[in-house]
Amino acid sequence: MNYWDAVVFVSGWLIGLRVFRGYDAHISLGRRLTKFVLLAAVFAAVHQFAGRPWFYGLLVVMAAGMALLHGYWFHYRHGIHWRTAEPREKYLRLIGKLR
């Protein structure tokens, strides 16, 4: 993976963390870093073995999946704010972290 592709991946990740920080508030820093490292390895492997178009295609698919998850599933289907994950108890109950 070249420098600019890595910058795009890391920048997207950091923007996503900032925008959707309410969704990861219950997850430890270690788990979030592990998730980042694993996804970075997967994206680097895709870039290395399948090429740059597949790398960006995977980024588009993941962005569309996040938009669908946050915009439709959480917000319209369950009444949870798309960005802040409020009401918090309802969100945690939906994902199985609160009974």
Q: How far is CA 73 from CA 30, 52, 66, 70, in A?
A: 27, 30, 10, 6
Q: pLDDT tens, 32-73?
A: 999 999 999 999 999 999 999 999 999 999 999 999 999 999
Of the candidates 13, 27, 30, the one whose C-alpha atom is nearest the C-alpha of residue 66 is 13
pLDDT at 22: 86
Letter string b/e over residues 55-85, b meaning 16 or more CB atoms within 10 A of that residue's CB: bbebbeeeeeeeeeebeeebeeeeebebeeb
Q: Say whether pLDDT at 99 is over 80.
A: no
Residues 21, 29 contacting (CB under 8 angstroms): no
pLDDT band at residue 26, thresholds of 50, 70 and 90?
Answer: confident
Contact 59, 65 (CB under 8 A): no
- Out of 23-32, 39-48, 71-80, pick the least confident: 23-32
